[in-house]
Amino acid sequence: MVDVVAQEIKCSHCGAPVQFNPGEIIATCKYCGFTTVIETGQAFSFEHSLILNKFEQASIETPIKDWMGSGFLKPADLARKAKFTQKNLVYLPFWVCSVEATSTYKGIFERISPAIVKEGTLSKEYDWLILAREAAEFPTREYEVPLQGKIPFDFRRIEGFAKLLNSEMDREEAIDLTRTQIDAHHRFLLQQDVDRIIEINTKIDLKQMVYLHAPIWFIRYEYKSNLYQLIFDGATGTVVKGDIPTARF
Ligand SMILES: [Zn+2]
């Protein structure tokens, strides 16, 4: 397998080489933590935050074994017999868009006869999370970023064994995607009120936007000769998504 060729720019703060891969747009220097917009070479001028990881490669096994040992659906000997084959800590880049989103809609309500046309607005506030990577296998909608624990980005808190991924998405793209995803979410919510939507227009009012790195553990384990995957939140020690071997009764 050939690795993608990394390119390099010079950190404009400390002069160290900052490597980045094709497609990456914002890069963080691993020597001084300075964050640069690759295309322009300028400093990233928005808030960059970090969620702290609370586990080491040994201690992450404790909450995982607790998870394996709880619940009805798991084999009773899972926590005892599972063998860890991979424990990778990755700081994934996210955009958190705090918005007030308002959808104005017109739809047809068919549950009564004759059907009627209904109009209305749906307005909600969100801290909407956008994963700033194209291909990462991560269930963003199942992950609740523990925002209360965020600190200003501090490269000294990134463990030597961890990997920090750069953003492949700029701020404008993240805002567009937020609007599109909230529009889809509102269409889903509106199914309660109307059976068919004729018109919908979703506007977002951006209150705040944060670029954030969050600690996610990608775990693989072996149980009875099969391999399984787990995605664990390194800030809270809770599972984001996990494969469970089928319990046999
Ligand atoms: Zn630097």
Please give the average per-residue pLDDT across 147-167, as a whole number: 93
Band (pLDDT 50/70/90 cuts) for residue 205 is very high
Please give the average per-residue pLDDT across 178-203, as a whole number: 95
Q: Identify the pLDDT of residue 247.
A: 66
**pTM of the predicted structure, to 2 decimals:** 0.87
Query: Measured in angstroms, how far is the CA atom of residue 35 from the centroid of ligand 1?
Result: 8
Query: Measured in angstroms, how far is the CA atom of residue 83 from the centroid of ligand 1?
Result: 38
What percentage of residues in the chain have a pLDDT greater than 90? Answer: 71
Closest CA to 90 of 209, 218, 176, 212: 218
Structure tokens at 229: 């995957």
Query: Measured in angstroms, how far is the CA atom of residue 51 from the centroid of ligand 1?
Result: 20
Q: Identify the pLDDT of residue 1.
A: 45
Please give the average per-residue pLDDT across 141-160, as a whole number: 91
Question: Long-range pairs for 179-182 at CB < 8 Å and ≥24 separation?
Answer: 179/101, 179/203, 179/204, 181/128, 181/130, 182/99, 182/101, 182/126, 182/128
Residue with token string 């900052």: 18
Structure tokens at 149: 């624990």
Band (pLDDT 50/70/90 cuts) for residue 204 is very high
Query: In this predicted model, what pLDDT tens digit does every residue of 130-146 receive, in sequence order?
Result: 999 987 778 888 898 88
Query: Measured in angstroms, how far is the CA atom of residue 37 from the centroid of ligand 1?
Result: 13
Q: Identify the pLDDT of residue 249.
A: 54
Query: Measured in angstroms, how far is the CA atom of residue 219 from the centroid of ligand 1?
Result: 30
Higher per-residue confidence, 249 vs 243? 243
Query: Measured in angstroms, how far is the CA atom of residue 115 from the centroid of ligand 1?
Result: 64
Please give the average per-residue pLDDT across 166-193, as a whole number: 94
Query: Measured in angstroms, how far is the CA atom of residue 90 from the centroid of ligand 1?
Result: 20
Query: In this predicted model, what pLDDT tens digit does every residue of 12-55 receive, in sequence order?
Result: 889 999 988 888 999 999 889 899 998 888 888 889 999 999 99
> Which DSSP symbol is given to 157?
G
